[in-house]
């Protein structure tokens, strides 16, 4: 997945106080907006540092195949706007 698209999704999640769900080759995980201290985009990977400082996650851009901004609303929980990588 391209760095510019990843940065766009991160900015959207931050702007809306939403969670970021990341699918990569190995796993799927949710970066909850309340628990994130720092999200950093580097040349070839995404780095997420959690508030407690105990967990730091590194994900290579090439291994990400889907990013989702998970928006919470009272009427319907779990509304998701997704961004997928086309091809590999």
CATH number at residue 70: 2.30.30
Which residues in the chain belong to E strands, given as ranges? 19-24, 28-31, 36-41, 45-50, 56-60, 64-71, 79-84
pLDDT tens, residue by residue, 63-85: 999 999 998 754 445 555 555 55
Domain count of the chain? Answer: 1
Could you tell me the residue range of the domain that residue 23 belongs to? Answer: 3-84
CA distance 49 to 53: 7
In this structure, what DSSP letter does residue 19 have? E
| pLDDT at res. 47 | 92
What is the reported pTM? 0.73
CA distance 46 to 64: 10
């Amino acid at each position: 997945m391209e760095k510019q698209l990843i940065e766009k999704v991160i900015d959207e999640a931050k702007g809306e106080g939403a969670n970021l769900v990341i699918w990569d080759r190995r796993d799927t995980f949710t970066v909850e907006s309340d628990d994130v201290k720092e999200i950093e985009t580097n040349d070839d990977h995404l780095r997420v540092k959690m508030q407690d400082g105990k967990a730091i996650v590194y994900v290579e851009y090439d291994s990400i195949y889907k990013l989702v901004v998970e928006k919470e609303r009272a009427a319907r929980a779990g509304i998701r706007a997704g961004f997928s990588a086309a091809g590999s």
